[in-house]
Structure 1
Amino acid sequence: MAKIFRVSVRAGMTRVVEPLARSLLRAGVSPNTVTVAGTVGVLVGAIGFGARGQFIPGLIIVTLSALTDMLDGTMARLRGGTSRFGAFLDSSMDRIADSAIFGAVAYWLATQDDRLGLVAALICLAAGQVVSYVKARAEGLGMTCNVGIAERPERLITVGVGGLLSAVGLDWGLSAVLWILAVLSVITVGQRVAHVHGQARDAKVSVDA
């Protein structure tokens, strides 16, 4: 259900950003430039604001910057498809952006002496990177790995909700949400490993047969 909703939202947003994508292409702007610009925006929002506990402006900047992930994809599609380097750059910038977001949250919690929240943020940071790595490694081996209860969009939305709760005065909200996300992220790692294991086992059975 979540994936169906996400696909529907993405399709609607694509229709909105397509005119902008065409304009940027006519102006000579490349999808890779937009990818890097979006990541820089996330760094500004996360490190410049989120790390100081200014979650509302941080969330606004990070959200607007994250939308470039859809914009650069639309631009690439209009140009005839994503290049191999473009796909590599996009994935690399996503990892940098995710690290900045959770690193900034961890830093803020450390300054507030919230040790439990800090531990949860670090688990989210590490598990999120593993979730992405497992998928990339599986695809590099010729398998699929599009499964998991807490994929990248869910992780970013969840930490955003935690930031909003903290911004409106519910100081416990961020830590609570991070612990929920930490558990879901670890479960997602297990789901992906199990999924890849099943494919590898089926492939071995087919070869042996």
Structure 2
Amino acid sequence: MAYDRTAMLKLLRPAMTRILTPLGRALVGRGIGPNAVTAIGTLGTVISALLLFPLGHLAWGALLITVFVLFDLLDGVVARLGGKGGTTWGAFLDSTLDRVADAAIFAGLILYFVARGDTLMAGVTLACLVAGSLVSYAKARAEGLGLTADVGLAERPERLVVALVATFFSGVGVPYVLPLGMWLLAAASTITVVQRVVHVYRQTREA
């Protein structure tokens, strides 16, 4: 089953680009490049997740991380306004730091559950972290072999939306929403891994 992993971002990107353009222009004017923006966004995400989530500040953590996640769009704006466009190094750095940010978000939630003695949900959240990493790895490995793996139920944007929305509403007192979100993500990410493995297998059989 083919799946457009950027469908959601395609709807949001034009509006967000217009909003972020003045900030991007200001950063370019101060000599700040897209790679620095990427690094700042990742650092902010890591600090917010590992500091606020374990302490139980779920709503504030989710809001701050959402702001830093927007740096994924801002670095592209800065690259365009700086006249250099994207580079191979920038693309590699962005993808690598995305994995760091994702790991920090789920690690922070694991620590949150551990601190409250909820070992079951800590395990489910760990499954989200592992399966999410496998989703990304499967695609990268397939592309390294000259194949494709752009299929699946839960790509990174969807996983982030579910995780952050569930975390925020849990932080403002909505019951059961965070456990439900983690169970949903664990299942969806696992299904996505299977979908990608099957997709790559079929390509190798056709070769």
Fold match (TM-score > 0.5)? yes
Other-structure match for 1:38: 41
CA RMSD, 1 decimal: 1.7
Q: Is the 8 A contact 2:59 2:169 kept in 1?
A: no
- Match of 1:52, SS state, is coil
- Match of 2:37, SS state, is helix
Other-structure match for 1:160: 164
Task: Figure out how many residues of one structure are paired with residues of the other and give that number.
Answer: 203
Structure 2: distance between partners of 1:5 and 1:35: 21
Q: Is the 8 A contact 2:5 2:151 kept in 1?
A: no
1:147 aligns with 2:151: yes
Question: Which residues of 2 match residues 69-108 of structure 1 at below 5 A?
Answer: 69-78=72-81, 79-108=83-112
Structure 1: distance between partners of 2:175 and 2:116: 10
Q: TM-score, normalised by structure 2?
A: 0.91
Q: Which amino acid in 1 is paired with 2:48?
A: G
Unaligned runs of 5+ in 1: 205-209
Question: Which residues of 2 match residues 166-185 of structure 1 at below 5 A?
Answer: 166-185=170-189
**Where does structure 1 differ by over 6 angstroms across 4 or more consecutive aligned residues?**
none
Question: Which residues of 2 match residues 23-62 of structure 1 at below 5 A?
Answer: 23-62=26-65
Query: Which one has more relative contact order, counting CA pairs under 8 Å at least 6 apart?
Result: 2
Structure 1: distance between partners of 2:201 and 2:32: 42
- Higher helix residue share: 1
Q: Which amino acid in 2 is paired with 1:11?
A: P
- Match of 1:63, SS state, is helix
Unaligned runs of 5+ in 2: none
**Percent identity of the aligned residues?**
44
Q: Which amino acid in 2 is paired with 1:91?
A: S
